[in-house]
Amino acid sequence: MDYTIIVFLEILRAISWLVILAAGLAIIFGMMKVINFAHGEFLMLGGYITIMSHNAGVPLWISMGVLAPLVVGVFGIIVERLVIRHLYGRIIDSLLATWGLSLLMIGGVTMVFGNTVQGVSTPLGSLSIGAYQVPGYNLLLIGIAVAMMMAIWLVLRFTSAGLIARATMQNPDMAETLGVRTSWVYMATFGLGSAVTGLAGGLLAPLTGVAPSMGVNFVAQSFITVITGGASMIAGTLSAGTLLGTISQGVTFATGPVYGDAALLLAALILLRLLPQGITGRIFRKSL
């Protein structure tokens, strides 16, 4: 019985993890149909800010939950104004430019901080379930994933900003005709997506430590989750996160963590062969 609970919690954690990693990317993709190839480096930036400010004496929760999203969000807005803005409608070019940005950021951070791993200890101790110990941090991750999805849903569904966002998503030209300044909507979306990614990076920092090239380890999972999910921010991320999280955790239990990612990709390829627009391209189409 205890073991069942542990396995269940582990799977839940894997799903939450994918949701947290991919949420920022999904917000940007859902709105602009653009994949930010520098996603991994935005995570890395969030992680660095968390650890740097914590080392400078800021309490961990503030640096993780406030500073990291704030700084990465502002950075995202700057990137949008300087680079992405010029490439709307040129999807391939925006992928190439963000990839260039990703290399630039890896190189820049290496030059400033050096190619070393830095870390902080994981907070929240552990919880015992029967004979097993569960890190309390895992439960926090599950809680944050749920809160994140709820918050996005509430904003999109019930606020006027959400209404404008949904209108722009559905038909940018029509929204513009009705007086919505879509270029600002895109800027805000990119900033918000970046902020969420910054938060994810902050949450990541105590788990893995930070290094300039750490992004590489997480982008594969994030990208697969987002493209498998399709264009809907919440339904897509949740359905793909659930499916892929279960598969990868199952494979990890069976064979070890190396093949978890490969299994993810294989599952995603087969799924995309059947549903080329992602899960929400055919199922849950009307959802957010």
Partner 1 sequence: METSLRTDPGFWFMTALGLVLLFLGPLFWDLFQIMQITQYVVLSVYVLSLAYIWGFGGILSFGQAAFFGLGAYTFSVAAINMGETTFPFVLAFAIPAIFGAALGYFMFYGKLSDVYMGVVTMVVTLIFWKLINHTAGPEYAIGDARLGGFNGIPSVPVLNVPGDAQAWLDPGQMFQVFMAILTLLYVLLRILIASDFGRISMGIRENETRAALLGYDVRRHKVIMFALGAGIAGMAGGMWATYQTFIDPNVFSLEMSAKALIWTMAGGVGTLAGPIVAVVLLQYLSLKLGEMHILNNNFILGGIMMVLVLLVPKGGLPTLRDGIAALRVRGSVRRSGTPGKVAPDV
Binding site for partner 1 (CB under 8 A): 33-35, 37, 83, 86-87, 90-93, 95-97, 99-108, 110-111, 216-217, 219-220, 223-224, 227, 258-259, 261-262, 265, 268-270, 272-274, 276
* Closer Cβ to partner 1, 97 or 205, answer by number: 97
* Closer Cβ to partner 1, 16 or 41, answer by number: 41
Distances from the Cα of 19 to the Cα of 8, 108, 142, 175, angstroms: 17, 28, 9, 29
* Closer Cβ to partner 1, 56 or 92, answer by number: 92
Distance of closest approach, residue 56 Cβ to partner 1, in angstroms: 25
From the list 256, 266, 254, 224, the residue with the least C-alpha distance to 241 is: 224
Distance of closest approach, residue 188 Cβ to partner 1, in angstroms: 21
The widest CA-to-CA distance across the chain, in whole angstroms, is 63
Distance of closest approach, residue 163 Cβ to partner 1, in angstroms: 26
From the list 227, 172, 216, the residue with the least C-alpha distance to 25 is: 227
Distance of closest approach, residue 50 Cβ to partner 1, in angstroms: 22
Is 229:284 a contact under the CB 8 Å cutoff?
Answer: no
* Closer Cβ to partner 1, 113 or 284, answer by number: 113
**Three-class secondary structure assignment of 221-232:** HHHHHHHHHCCC
Six-digit token pair at 167? 């209108």
126-129/132-135 β-pairing: antiparallel
Distance of closest approach, residue 232 Cβ to partner 1, in angstroms: 15
Distance of closest approach, residue 284 Cβ to partner 1, in angstroms: 18
Distances from the Cα of 164 to the Cα of 54, 131, 231, angstroms: 37, 51, 17
* Closer Cβ to partner 1, 36 or 50, answer by number: 36
* Closer Cβ to partner 1, 100 or 123, answer by number: 100
* Closer Cβ to partner 1, 147 or 216, answer by number: 216
Angstrom distance (rounded) from CA 268 to CA 244: 8
Six-digit token pair at 20? 């947290």
Distance of closest approach, residue 221 Cβ to partner 1, in angstroms: 9
Six-digit token pair at 223? 């990208």
Concatenating the DSSP letter of every residue in 21-66 gives HHHHHHHHHHHHS---TTHHHHHHHHHHHHHHHHHTT--HHHIIII
The residues near 196 (Cβ < 8 Å, ≥ 6 apart) are 23, 24, 27, 69, 148
* Closer Cβ to partner 1, 96 or 174, answer by number: 96
